[in-house]
């Protein structure tokens, strides 16, 4: 099951992406690039461009972050995987935009498919730059040692080093400290291995908590959560309840 934090992050990213696509679509509709300024009034052009930019975001916003994470884990440089990925992903918005344009303005049938695709490719390159910038792992980029096996060494200095818990989000781990949180590009198991000097436990397939961070236990029917410093709550999977209770992790007021 996807954690609440991961869902919130995904929704925020989607909202930001569609918002940016809308703004860019309105701008393109007003400017009328690639000769589209000759077609009808600005409102219709804006609607056309916004619809196409939404399709582009669906194609690129979903795929690029996952491709980026996959490439980063394998050490593939950006220049190697990005061009073929963009060339392939641009096919969908090219097909959709041309089909829609032909219905609105049949005269565009005079534009060759290849020329149309190249125009979509140029816009797709702009979307790619925006997606990669918006979804970049800020903690890994700003940390003093992005290659360290210790997630604390990948954090920005202002976040400190007092780790409260780890939360898996897609291909990243969100490291919660007493000063805030940030994403690092590593698996949860790698992050846990990097914190061997801290006493902690994995309470859920997506969560690890430090014993020093636990302030209590929240029971909601059969569901259990650990209350942590800073107002955080970490879920406890039912499969781990028995073992954690035997080991003394589910005692209120630790």
What pLDDT, on the 0 to 100 scale, is given for residue 140?
42
For residues 203 and 209, the answer to whether their CB atoms sit within 8 Å is: yes
For residues 105 and 39, the answer to whether their CB atoms sit within 8 Å is: yes
Q: Assign 182 to helix, strand or coil.
A: strand
Q: Assign 125 to helix, strand or coil.
A: helix
Rg (CA), the chain: 23
Q: Work out the pLDDT band at 141, boundaries 50, 70, 90.
A: very low
For residues 176 and 164, the answer to whether their CB atoms sit within 8 Å is: yes
What pLDDT, on the 0 to 100 scale, is given for residue 14?
67
- On average, the pLDDT of the chain sits at 81
- Under CATH, what is the fold of the domain 144-246? OB fold (Dihydrolipoamide Acetyltransferase, E2P) (2.40.50)
pTM: 0.47
Q: Work out the pLDDT band at 68, boundaries 50, 70, 90.
A: confident
Greater confidence (28 vs 112) lies with 112
* DSSP assigned state of 156: -
Burial of 215 (0-12, 13-18, 19+ CB in 10 A): middle
For residues 226 and 219, the answer to whether their CB atoms sit within 8 Å is: no
What pLDDT, on the 0 to 100 scale, is given for residue 2?
41
What pLDDT, on the 0 to 100 scale, is given for residue 11?
60
Task: Read off φ and ψ for residue 112, nearest 5 degrees.
Answer: -65, 150
What pLDDT, on the 0 to 100 scale, is given for residue 173?
93
Q: For 218-232, how does the pLDDT look when each residue is reduced to its tens digit (9 = 90+)?
A: 888 778 889 998 889
- The helix (run of H) or strand (run of E) holding residue 223 is strand 223-228
40's torsion region: left (phi>0), alpha (psi -120 to 50) or beta?
left
CA distance 215 to 229: 6
Q: For 159-202, how does the pLDDT look when each residue is reduced to its tens digit (9 = 90+)?
A: 888 999 999 988 899 999 998 998 998 889 999 999 988 899 99
Q: Is the pLDDT of residue 147 over 90?
A: no
Q: Work out the pLDDT band at 42, boundaries 50, 70, 90.
A: confident
Domain segments of the chain as ranges:
4-136, 144-246
Q: Taking the CA of residue 198 as centre, how many other CA atoms within 13 Å lie in the half-sphere pointing to its CB?
A: 23
Residue bearing tokens 């800020």: 138
What pLDDT, on the 0 to 100 scale, is given for residue 207?
94
List the one residue out of 137, 15, 218 whose CA is nearest residue 226: 218
């Amino acid at each position: 099951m996807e954690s609440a934090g991961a869902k919130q992050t995904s929704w925020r990213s989607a909202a930001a992406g569609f918002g940016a696509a809308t703004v860019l679509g309105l701008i393109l509709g007003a400017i009328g690039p690639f000769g589209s300024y000759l077609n009808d009034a600005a409102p219709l052009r804006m609607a056309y461009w916004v619809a196409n930019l939404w399709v582009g975001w669906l194609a690129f916003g979903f795929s690029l972050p996952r491709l980026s994470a996959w490439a980063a884990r394998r050490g593939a440089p950006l220049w190697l995987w990005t061009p073929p990925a963009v060339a392939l992903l641009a096919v969908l918005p090219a097909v959709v935009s041309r089909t829609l344009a032909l219905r609105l303005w049949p005269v565009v049938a005079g534009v060759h498919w290849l020329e149309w695709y190249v125009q979509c490719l140029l816009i797709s390159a702009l979307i790619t730059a925006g997606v990669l910038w918006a979804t970049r792992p800020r903690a890994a980029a700003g940390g003093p040692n992005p290659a360290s096996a210790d997630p604390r060494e990948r954090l920005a200095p202002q976040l400190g080093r007092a780790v409260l818990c780890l939360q898996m989000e897609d291909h990243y781990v969100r490291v919660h400290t007493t000063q805030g949180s940030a994403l690092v590009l590593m698996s949860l198991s790698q992050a846990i291995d990097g914190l061997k000097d801290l006493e902690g436990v994995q309470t859920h397939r997506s969560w690890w908590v430090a014993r020093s961070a636990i302030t209590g236990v929240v029971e909601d029917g059969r569901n259990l959560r650990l209350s942590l410093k800073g107002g955080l709550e970490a879920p406890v999977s039912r499969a781990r309840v028995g073992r954690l209770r035997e080991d003394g992790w589910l005692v209120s007021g630790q």
